[in-house]
């Protein structure tokens, strides 16, 4: 499927030639294969059609690019690992993609502040390893850790599997350097813990999906590693029991994750090589991780299992006894996205407050069963923080455009249910291009007006990732 391919105007081609001639340090790619590779993210819904790809190696080069773009009114699309699921890094309208893949280093570790300063193109997993070298952790984590970049995590305020304990990316960014649309370099918050000196522009930039400027450096907070943990997998008979299991676990255990998935998710992940956990199939499963540093905590986990079993909330359970077993249980949850990729899923990434989950689930389940009887629907996600991923799989015989049109009709209805329950159409993937039509179900007209105003102040010409988030 494709939307919009743009022919590039002659003056823009001439401006690009001038950039190449006068700034020979700025590496530029224009090969069709590169344009295709760097012009898309994991959504695969738009045909990439960027003007060119710039691969800056320094902040100064990013400033040069921004000044050039501003002088010639060329739109810029920031690009990290391009693992985004909402089209936030798509360049389909003659934009210049600014790839941060050459700006991928750790710049500084500060032992006193317990911070790591990094360039935006660094992979999340490399940050984890760098923190571990100093006996600390950077706690934001999710399955795309090996390929996503910190710049992209900041752009979407990425969440993941341990939000329940550690919160989202915004809790862990102590400072940012931003190249503004006019090429100015801004230092936002400078790593301070306490800073009561006006608007926190750093927090505005986090989650702005690249619309307020180009993040060129981030100072990340690190923390102590958690105590030893165990992972438990529950087989659950009813959706209504999921949040009751959560309540029992949260009361007795010190949780770091509480995730769920359905039998359909298990089916796909097993077909992808994961190990079958139980002989019998249950409609729902929960993977939970918790501190298990001593006998008392390990005993509490067994008691939680017994209690859930006695109350009829779970049918079965398995408790990890080694790191390898914990990894095998995690694979059942973390392998889902990859196992679904070939089915070209339509992704819903929605959230409500934890207290609203039970009523919301009831209404959603009824809505989706009614509206999607013909599709394979895979439910999973971070239910412990109210975030559900409902992936609808494309039947092989249905064309891409028709499939998306059918899904979008349902998303409109879903957006209404979310509005009634005070939820969000995007919990952690971002709005990008994919969820733009539904932003008004989550944000009021007054809020969107203010957001537009903020964007205009940062970027009067509208050149920073235009078309994303809102027009
Ligand atoms: C995940 O949590 O696995 C992803 O954010 C969800 C998805 O691929 O839809
Ligand atoms: Zn997720």
Residue boundaries of the structural domains of the chain:
3-101, 106-221, 229-337, 344-455
Contacts of 254 (CB under 8 A, 6+ apart): 290, 291, 297
Contacts of 426 (CB under 8 A, 6+ apart): 86, 349, 350, 435, 442
pLDDT means over runs of 10, the chain (471 residues): 66 93 94 98 95 98 98 97 97 98 98 98 98 98 98 98 98 98 98 98 98 99 98 96 98 98 98 96 97 97 98 97 97 97 96 96 93 92 97 95 95 95 98 97 97 98 98 94
The strand ranges marked E within 95-228 are: 96-99, 106-110, 115-118, 173-179, 185-188, 214-221
pLDDT in tens, 69-116: 999 999 999 999 999 999 999 999 999 999 999 999 999 999 999 999
CATH topology for 229-337? Answer: Alpha-Beta Plaits (3.30.70)
Tell me if 106-221 shares its fold with 229-337. no
pTM above 0.75, yes or no: yes
Q: What is 344-455's CATH number?
A: 3.30.70.2740
Q: What is 106-221's CATH number?
A: 3.30.465.10
**337 Cβ inside 6 Å of ligand 1:** yes
Query: What is the distance in A from the centroid of ligand 2 to the CA of 389?
Result: 7
**344 Cβ inside 6 Å of ligand 1:** no
- Give the residue from 70, 102, 18 showing the smallest Cα distance to 183: 70
Strand order in the sheet with 173-179: 106-110, 115-118, 214-221, 173-179, 185-188
pLDDT in tens, 136-151: 999 999 999 999 999 9
- Give the residue from 57, 44, 70 showing the smallest Cα distance to 98: 57
In a mutational test of the pocket of ligand 1, which residue from 142, 337, 349 has the highest number of ligand atoms less than 8 Å from its CB? 337
Q: What is 3-101's CATH number?
A: 3.30.43.10
């Amino acid at each position: 499927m494709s939307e919009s391919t743009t022919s590039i105007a002659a003056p823009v081609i001439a401006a690009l030639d001038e950039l190449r001639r006068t700034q020979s340090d700025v590496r530029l790619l224009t090969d069709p294969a590169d344009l295709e590779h760097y012009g898309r993210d994991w959504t695969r819904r738009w045909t990439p059609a960027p003007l060119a790809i710039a691969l800056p190696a320094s902040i100064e080069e990013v400033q040069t690019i921004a000044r050039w773009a501003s002088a010639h009114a060329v739109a810029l699309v920031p690009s990290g690992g391009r693992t985004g699921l909402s089209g936030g890094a798509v360049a389909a309208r003659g934009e210049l993609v600014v790839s941060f893949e050459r700006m991928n280093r750790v710049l500084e570790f500060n032992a006193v502040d317990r911070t790591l300063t990094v360039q935006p193109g660094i992979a999340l997993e490399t940050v984890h390893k760098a923190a571990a070298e100093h006996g600390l952790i950077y706690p934001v984590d999710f399955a795309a850790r090996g390929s996503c970049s910190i710049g992209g995590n900041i752009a979407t305020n990425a969440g993941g599997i341990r939000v329940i304990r550690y919160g989202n990316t915004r809790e862990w960014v102590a400072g940012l350097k931003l190249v503004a649309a006019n090429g100015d370099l801004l230092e936002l918050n400078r790593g301070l813990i306490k800073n009561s000196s006006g608007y926190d522009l750093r927090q505005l930039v986090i989650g702005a999906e690249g619309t307020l400027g180009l993040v060129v450096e981030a100072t990340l907070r690190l923390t102590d590693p958690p105590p030893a943990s165990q992972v438990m997998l529950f087989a659950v008979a009813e959706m209504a029991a999921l949040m009751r299991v959560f309540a029992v676990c949260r009361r007795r255990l010190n949780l770091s994750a509480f995730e769920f998935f359905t039998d359909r998710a298990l089916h796909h992940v097993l077909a992808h090589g994961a190990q079958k956990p139980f002989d019998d199939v249950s409609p729902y499963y929960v993977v939970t991780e918790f501190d298990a540093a001593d006998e008392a905590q390990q005993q509490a986990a067994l008691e939680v299992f017994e209690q859930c079993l006695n109350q009829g909330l779970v049918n079965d359970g398995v408790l990890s006894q080694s790191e390898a077993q914990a990894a095998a249980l995690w694979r059942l949850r973390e392998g889902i996205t990859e196992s679904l990729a070939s089915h070209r899923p339509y992704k819903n990434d929605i959230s409500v407050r934890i207290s609203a989950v039970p009523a919301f689930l009831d209404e959603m389940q009824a809505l989706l069963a009614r509206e999607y009887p013909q599709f394979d629907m895979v439910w999973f996600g971070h239910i412990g923080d109210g975030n559900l991923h409902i992936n609808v799989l494309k039947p092989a015989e249905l064309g891409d455009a028709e499939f998306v049109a059918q899904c979008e009709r349902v998303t409109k209805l879903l957006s209404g249910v979310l509005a009634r329950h005070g939820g969000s159409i995007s919990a952690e993937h971002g709005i990008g291009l994919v969820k733009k039509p539904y932003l008004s179900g989550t944000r009021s007209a007054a809020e969107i007006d203010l957001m537009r105003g903020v964007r205009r102040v940062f970027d009067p010409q509208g050149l920073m990732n235009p078309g994303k988030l809102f027009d």
